[in-house]
Chain A
């Protein structure tokens, strides 16, 4: 298995531009999570989906952030318009939550820099 796939790996954009981050979970996993990591705030949950349905988006910073999961194998996190304070590493993770297995597998992350 290729593991969780994220693209792009690095993104540099100017303030005000739209940014779209992409994630492909591990095949067969039914839960998908978006996290953001910064030095100041650590690892924060933004939103998570179970069976493609958003369950908890209370971590989404504001209306500039939106996430979708149109099918079991793809999710996007969009920031519009982007701001310098959005600069961070964005991780996508997936899990099966079958039986006693709750392990979340993280993707390699997307390093976003907004100038």
Chain B
């Protein structure tokens, strides 16, 4: 089955700096790659996603890149703010069900 590796497990940045989270996947048939943000005690919520026919997607301060050949994708958050502090999960899917990475705990300090 699909195996998704996510790094780093924790990340601490200062407000205004950029944050980058990286994921790799094993199943070359995976074609959908979402990123979810989960605040403490809350449900995961989609922040951005990308499909295998696209190399990059941007939404305001958030961007995702995908390298199908290397089977890795990354989340980039620019101009980080304290409210960006949360756990971020990457996922990969070929059939609808999501295979999640283990998560990255991001802390943005003022």
Contact = CB atoms under 8 A, between A and B. Distances in A.
Contacts of B34: 102-104
B68 interface: no
Contacts of A56: 95, 97
Contact of A50 (B93, B96, B100): B96
Tell me whether chain A's interface is mostly helix, strand or loop, or mixed: strand
Contact of A95 (B51, B89, B96, B99): B96
A25 B98 CA distance: 17
B89 to A, nearest CB: 6
Interface in A71-115: 91, 95, 97, 100, 102-104, 106-109
Tell which of A31, A95, A103, A108 has the most Cβ of chain B within 10 Å. Answer: A103
Contact of B101 (A42, A91, A107): A42
Given A43-B89, A45-B97, A58 B102 contact: no
A106 B98 contact: no
Interface residues on A, range: 20 to 34
24 contacts: A31-B96, A33-B96, A42-B89, A42-B100, A42-B101, A42-B103, A43-B89, A43-B98, A55-B95, A55-B96, A56-B95, A56-B97, A91-B43, A91-B44, A97-B96, A102-B32, A102-B49, A102-B93, A103-B49, A104-B34, A104-B46, A104-B98, A106-B45, A107-B43
Given A43-B100, A56-B95, A103-B49, 17 more contacts: A31-B96, A35-B98, A42-B103, A43-B89, A43-B103, A48-B96, A50-B96, A91-B43, A91-B44, A100-B51, A103-B34, A103-B46, A104-B34, A104-B46, A104-B98, A106-B44, A109-B43
